[in-house]
Amino acid sequence: MRRTSGLIAAAVLVSTLAACGAADERSGCTPFVPQGDASRAVNVEGDVGSQPTVTFPTPLVTEAGQATEVVRGDGEVISRGEVADAQVSLYNGEDGQLLTATGYQENPEVILRRTASADDSLGKALACTAVGSRVVYTTTVEEVYGPDNPQIPLENNATIVAVFDVEDAFPGRANGAPQLGQNGMPAVVLAPNGRPGISVPAEEPPTDLRVAVLRQGNGPEVEQGDRVVLHYTGLTWDDEQIFDSSWEAGVPATFTAVSFEDDPAGIVPGLAEALIGQNVGSQVIAVIPPEQGYPEGQRPAAIPEGSTMVFVFDVLGIDQSPVE
């Protein structure tokens, strides 16, 4: 699969507003991250959806995560386990300098964070916020990037200040109605969080593209060229070795529903054909023969030449961010 590039790696990577709680009483949702003095000390100016102007007393110090919803959106409240789609700016708590940011209106790329993951510091901060909100989150470098990350020239206990603009929300897994399986297709068993376990039958793979819907969603239909939010696992038929999985990363990814034969930003032809026409909320399995996979010499090293690929993917949503 070829994924769109982001300006922030996943967990490696108006006027002055009065602070309010990160929790929202409309939903009964209990946030993972409490408010605190550090998150309330951050002043944010500018319109939601545009690069903010952020100031705070330096050095700003926090020993644990704190979150304050400085603008309360009026959209859907994001429950634990759902996926938040957000723009973000990260600042050094020591001197207030901007470390990195997504593109806001100049670039449609955002970050996707699953709000239920105990290991995802950024995702936890967005649980129980609402679409349209602006959230300040203060935490440590170690919480965001892990301990002693060689790519981050800051101490583990240094403070990071994140300002999120929450643009959309998606379910954390396919929520469609279960469907009957098809003979000759791999079996799929789901973990409690929705992650698929895939068992390939002990027989030769099919020579043509095979697609089956495991859970039938009732959301919008994916059209060619849509940017689709997916959770997925890909493995090879012959040895059942997983070569790519968003579940291992802990967050879904966004792909353009078009073959890379037609658009360099697209995905393998067989996967594009399997994805186009599916409904949001569906879980789908696709068995892709070599002829509809990667051309000779272009396959990733983890996929042996001539392999039949198996993908199980959850269609979580269609990214409606405007493309410049």
Give pLDDT, residue 70: 95
* Ranges 52-56, 108-112, 238-242, 277-281: which has the least confidence: 108-112
Tens of pLDDT, residues 2-22: 443 332 333 333 222 233 344
**pTM, full prediction:** 0.83
Give the contacts of 263 (CB within 8 A, at least 6 positions apart): 225, 256
First to last CA, the chain: 23
Q: pLDDT-based confidence at 281, cuts 50/70/90?
A: very high
How much is the average pLDDT of 279-308?
93
Mean pLDDT for 107-135 is 81
pLDDT of residue 222: 98
Buried b (16+ CB within 10 A) or exposed e, 214-235: bbbbebeebebebbbbbbbbbb
- The pLDDT assigned to 4 comes to 33
Calculate what percentage of the chain has a pLDDT beyond 90: 70
pLDDT above 80: residue 238 = yes
Task: Spell out the residues 6+ positions from residue 142 whose beta carbon is closer than 8 angstroms to its own.
Answer: 156, 157
**Separation between Cα atoms, residue 71 and residue 310, nearest integer Å:** 43
What's the confidence (pLDDT) of residue 29? 85
At 24, is the pLDDT very low, low, confident or very high (cuts 50, 70, 90)? Answer: very low
